[in-house]
Amino acid sequence: MKTIVANSERGLTLIDVVVVIAVLALLIMGGILPLMGSNRGKQRAQRINCVNNLRQIGPALKLWASFHDDKYMMDVSVTNGGTMELLPNGLAYMQFRVISNELFGPKILHCPADYNRALARSFQGGDFGNTNLSYFLNIDMIVANTYPFFVGDRNLSLSNAPVKPGLVSISVNSPLGWATEMHNGQGNNPYPFFVGDRNLSLSNAPVKPWLVSVSVNSPLGWTTEMHGGQGNMMRADGSVEQLDNANLHHELEFPGMSPNRWVVP
């Protein structure tokens, strides 16, 4: 009698294929999602540190000015401790080195998201230069721009109700806010920007270290070198904002921003 041996080998069924794909997908996503979350957390921490840096630079500049007749270093002669005669060379680090005593260390001038700049060990000699600096400086800023608000958007609210036309008395305890009538429930800050991230672009090309003249028609933007193609900027009142390209263009329309010269490291 001829014995028939059954073939024990068989191909994968559709159910087997689906199960394998599902398992692989779970394994891949299990590895990618934590990594994505980690990257987002790292970027958020870098932005927080950058904002904190800018918030410390502002008071340092004001403190220095308070000892020099309310003038910033670019408006004070070198013979009196300023940098007025150094402006034509366009070296940003020279502006910040003058206020080194008020900064309490070069770490404040380095953004952790700026991988193309190294943290300086000190402000002395060759230890500190443009290669250790993450921020530009608006050298046309004056101390007068740090006074309280003078003009602003009219879409104000008091106790969550739109403010009616007329004279309004505002105090520190006023429940003031913005109505949604304009700017999606926000208002424009009348203070121009003073210091910001260096990852600027002009006509889609990275800005080279030097003096840059900025006006309302400047094709200014951000490179992707830092903060995912955005940038942090500090206003003359000490507040810090992160702007994308569209909001940066909008800010150039502010009268105090045009024309201005920015010294970029």
Residue 114, classified by CB atoms within 10 Å of its CB into exposed (0-12), middle (13-18) or buried (19+), is buried
Residues 122 and 210 in one domain: yes
Residues 158 and 247 in one domain: no
Residues 90 and 115 in one domain: yes
Q: For residue 13, is pLDDT > 60?
A: yes
* Ordered strands of the 205-206 beta sheet: 205-206, 200-202, 220-222
21 or 192, higher pLDDT: 21
pLDDT of residue 258: 57
- The verdict on residue 7 lying in a domain is no
**pLDDT for 89-119, tens place per residue?**
888 999 999 999 999 899 999 999 999 899 9
40 or 96, higher pLDDT: 96
Residues 63 and 173 in one domain: no
pLDDT of residue 186: 58
Q: For residue 219, is pLDDT > 50?
A: yes
Range of 171's domain?
Answer: 153-187
Residues 211 and 177 in one domain: no
Residues 50 and 158 in one domain: no
- Mean pLDDT confidence for 13-18: 75
78 or 187, higher pLDDT: 78
Residues 226 and 143 in one domain: yes
Residues 235 and 120 in one domain: yes
DSSP 249: H
Residues 53 and 138 in one domain: yes
Domain count, the chain: 2
Q: Which residues contact 223 (CB under 8 A, 6 or more apart)?
A: 199, 200, 201, 206, 229
Residues 135 and 162 in one domain: no
174 or 217, higher pLDDT: 217
